[in-house]
Amino acid sequence: MEPLTQFLARLPKIELHVHLESTMPGELLDRFARRQGRRLPRSPGELYCCSAEDLSDFLAFLDRICSYVGTAEELALVAEQFALSCSREGILYAEAILNPTHWPQFPPAQIIAALTEGFDRGQATGGAPCAFTLSLSRTQTETEALQLVETMAACRTHRLAGLSIDGNEALTGPTGRRFRAAFQRAGQLGFGRTVHAGESSGPEGVREALDLLEADRLDHGVRAAEDPALVERLVREQVPLNICLSSNLALLYRDPSQHPLRRLLDAGAAVTLNRDDPTFLGSLTLTEELRRAAEFAAMTREELVGCQETAARAAFCSAETRARLLKTLADFHRTM
């Protein structure tokens, strides 16, 4: 049988949960910082060798590294480089998440234009087709959330796929009611809706995402496993869970045996596998993330392909793109 690493290198891959803020190589940020007359806090190669004690520390560091991107052209270059890096490891399609609160130097309309330009340029030069969601922060107001959605409507492009929300639920507490109107408006406009839940919150955060925000899919969602009735619902409704094993083991499950990936797969949950914040995880590739998940949860090759098929169905893409992704995966499946 073909070695697992070779199989995963060949496997056509799809990624739905990766933060663009956490894909910027240290060398690229060093170039940007020098243009501003600034220096990185550490050498480019050691920039991400830092210990974030909790999610709040991590989010604060994201604010700092994003500040080194000083122009819209530089932001477009970040998107272009991401698309090219995806292509190099056989990613067929990716949806990146960007939270405008980390980028106060750019108004949201400028962010949308820059990312669209960068992803267009990347695909034109051999990069993977990419789209993006804009993410609210849980610290924002209802008015700010609605303003972002209206900007998304006014500045919509073929790369802007949906609305997200992230942030530290353990600090902010429940926020679903505050953001319900924004998510309803996004749904009316035809945007996909994804919610970070079941990471810094427990099962109650997952329920809030489903019942108040009407999430089409969940980023993380792993702590739903603490509530058997909720798992039954997720399986029954086939709500996609964009799980990030390496990230969870770094920040959430200090005892790896507690991670529920295998239990969720056995229950029949709709699971996708993703990197979350790759630069903070040793420049993690999606191929390596899949290898770790396969070994950690004793996943079969059929299950690994199945996770890619789930991602194709969960993607906020056109029907034509989805059909193309599923056909490519079906063709690959026949070669196994």
Per-residue pLDDT of the chain (336 residues), as tens digits, is 899 999 999 999 999 999 999 999 999 999 999 999 999 989 999 999 865 555 667 778 889 999 999 999 999 999 999 999 999 999 999 999 999 999 999 999 999 999 999 999 999 999 999 999 999 999 999 999 999 999 999 999 999 999 999 987 777 777 889 999 999 999 999 999 999 999 988 999 999 999 999 999 999 999 999 999 999 999 999 999 999 999 999 989 989 999 999 999 999 999 999 999 999 999 999 999 999 999 999 999 999 999 999 999 999 999 999 999 999 999 999 998
- Distance between CA atoms of residues 102 and 110, nearest Å: 14
Q: CA-to-CA distance for 319 and 323, rounded, in angstroms?
A: 6
pTM of the model: 0.96
φ, ψ for residue 241, nearest 5 deg: -110, 115
Name the maximum alpha-carbon separation found in the chain.
Answer: 56
Burial class (CB in 10 A: 0-12, 13-18, 19+), 93: buried
Of the residues 21, 117, 169, 199, which is catalytic?
Answer: 199
Q: What is the pLDDT of residue 275?
A: 98
Residue 295: the pLDDT is 97
CA dihedral 256, 91, 64, 172 (to 10 degrees): -50
Domains of the chain plus CATH, in order, are: 4-334 (3.20.20.140)
Amino acid symbol at 147: Q
Instruction: Render pLDDT for 231-242 as a digit per residue (tens, 0 to 9).
Output: 999 999 999 999
In this structure, are residues 133 and 95 in contact, taking their beta carbons and an 8 Å threshold?
Answer: yes
What local confidence, expressed as pLDDT, does residue 51 receive? 57
**Confidence at residue 167, expressed as pLDDT on a 0 to 100 scale:** 81
The string of pLDDT tens digits covering residues 51-80 is 555 566 777 888 999 999 999 999 999 999
pLDDT at position 249: 95
Question: Active-site residue 199, yes or no?
Answer: yes
How many CB atoms lie under 10 A from the CB of residue 174?
A: 14
Q: Per residue in 139-182, pLDDT tens?
A: 999 999 999 999 999 999 999 999 999 987 777 777 889 999 99
Pairwise CA distance, residues 98 & 148, whole Å: 13
